[in-house]
Amino acid sequence: MLRVGLTGDLGSGKSTVAAMLAARGAVVLSSDEAARAMMQPGEAVYQSIVAHFGREVVAADGTLDRRKLAAIAFDPASPRVVELNAIVHPRVLAEQAKQVAMFTGTDKIVVVESALIFSAYGQTEAERRERFDRILLVIAPDEAKISRFVERVAGGRALSAEERAAVEADARRRLALQGTESHAAECLVVRNDGSLNALEAQVDKVWLDLISTPHPSPR
């Protein structure tokens, strides 16, 4: 098994790269998907979030109001994203560790997709190397990241100038708290600043690199 961490800032295109890797045969584990499952009503993470942040983050149907929770977590006056991550990520990491362990001794390339490779998965490069054999970083110009975030939030509907400005400001606040690109020296880098075909070509090269990397002995 080769363990690969896949990361990038908001809007970098890491989920697109994850899908391309999956199409080539990788096993992809999404931290976002794991977190969403754990944040459903009745789950321990859901209960902890509500207890910590209050009933105001609960929507009328009983689910978490993710937009309201995000607004609290990324409030520029008093950000609380560290508190949110402290609730969610230890549980996500524990679940992922179990899933990754299932492929020990196989020839699989197991990709963990997460925006927090450089924080939740270890504060130092040595700590991260205990979890991953390679780290893949997707980078893009900030304006491209912000544009993709706006498109995702809009969900196909037209935003007013005021709404767009608010979403763009939210994206800039989040990007300021991420900064994954400063870790490029320890990563395989994919630059997502061109066409989809250009991105596919880069992923082809990365895939060849990964499949030719010796798989470590079972741990």
Q: What is the pLDDT of residues 75-104, one digit of tens each?
A: 877 889 889 989 999 999 999 999 999 999
What confidence score (pLDDT) does residue 2 get? 96
pLDDT tens, residue by residue, 161-204: 888 898 888 888 888 777 788 889 889 999 999 999 999 999 99
The residue with tokens 């395989």 is 188
Give residue 181's pLDDT.
85
pLDDT at 217: 52
> How far is Cα 111 from Cα 134, in angstroms, rounded to an integer?
9
Q: How remote is the C-alpha of 139 from its chain's centroid?
A: 13
Distance CA 197, CA 146 (A): 21
pLDDT at 177: 73
What integer pLDDT is reported at residue 103 of this predicted model? 95
Average pLDDT taken over every residue of the chain: 90
Query: pLDDT exceeding 90 applies to what percent of the chain?
Result: 62
Backbone angles phi, psi at 111, to 5 degrees: -105, 120
Residues 167 and 153: their CA atoms lie apart, in Å, by 8
Q: CB count, 10 Å around CB of 198?
A: 12
Task: Band the pLDDT of 218: cuts 50, 70, 90.
Answer: low
pLDDT tier at 215, thresholds 50, 70, 90: confident
Cα torsion for 89, 93, 96, 97, to the nearest 10°?
Answer: -170
> Residues 7-28: pLDDT tens digits?
999 899 999 999 999 999 999 9
Query: Residue 157's pLDDT band (boundaries 50, 70, 90)?
Result: confident
Is residue 110 within 8 A of residue 104, CB to CB? The reply is: no
Full set of structural domains in the chain with CATH: 2-211 (3.40.50.300)
pLDDT at 173: 81
**Interior CA angle at 168 toward 34 and 199, to 5°?**
60
Whether residue 83 contacts residue 52, with contact meaning beta carbons closer than 8 Å, is answered with yes
**Can you give the pLDDT at residue 219?**
52
pLDDT at 141 over 60: yes
Number of helices (H), then strands (E), belonging to the chain: the values are 9, 5
pTM (two decimals)? 0.85
pLDDT in tens, 65-76: 988 998 898 887
With cut-offs at 50, 70 and 90, classify the pLDDT of residue 31: very high
